[in-house]
Amino acid sequence: MSTVCLIASDTPLPFIDMRILTDYATEFGTVTFLRGFAVGQKSPLPDGDEEAGSMVNKEYVYDFSIEADDTCLEQLKLYLAYNVENGREVDIWSLRLGGDPTKHYTQKIPMKHVKAGTPSTSELNDEVDWYKENFIEPERVKAALNELSVDNIRFVLENSSVCLTVKK
């Protein structure tokens, strides 16, 4: 199970990596993270993942990394301004590949098919997967490039089975 962020387009997009190493002090010492904005390698959708395959419908799909801050937002806007044709749209997705009942979906997932008692993790995961594949329509938000905000980025990063469509 993992959460992936993807950017999808009808036309090819160039790779870019503007992430930087950032150190954080913790009680155990310093931890270094790679943070920022990046469009990575072309990402084939995983075989057999019905959620991703049924939702993402653009030809070119890439790994995507971003933080919900003003710097990344401006980098994303510049990237899209230079690399997307006027009138075109790109989709930014957050997808949970594999079930996880603790993930914050925008829809409550009923557990009516789980046996009474204490279900196993695999039973819960199976129920989440089954429900997603059959009933969840992704929540979609549309924004024009010049109206894109940090709140739009947070929407993608804090939810699953969601799509932010940005139109240039």
Which sequence spans correspond to the domains of the chain?
2-167
- Kindly state the average pLDDT of the residues 3-27: 89
pTM above 0.75, yes or no: no
Q: Report the alpha-carbon angle 56-61-65, nearest 5.
A: 105
Residues whose CB is less than 8 angstroms from the CB of residue 51 and which lie 6 or more positions away in sequence, other chains included:
95, 96, 97, 129, 132, 133, 136, 161
pLDDT digits (tens, 9 = 90+) for 118-143: 667 777 667 666 666 666 677 899 99
pLDDT value at 40 more than 50: yes
Least confident of 16-25, 43-52, 112-121: 43-52
pLDDT value at 16 more than 50: yes
Q: What is the pLDDT of residue 55?
A: 76
- Kindly state the average pLDDT of the residues 19-45: 84
Of 38-42, 66-70, 122-126, which one has max mean pLDDT? 66-70
Q: Please provide the average confidence, as pLDDT, over all residues in the chain.
A: 81
Q: What is the pLDDT of residue 31?
A: 84
pLDDT value at 35 more than 80: yes
Higher pLDDT, 35 or 141: 141
Q: What is the pLDDT of residue 104?
A: 43
Q: How many C-beta atoms lie closer than 10 Å to residue 79's C-beta? A: 19
Of the candidates 145, 148, 157, the residue with the CA atom closest to the CA atom of residue 80: 145
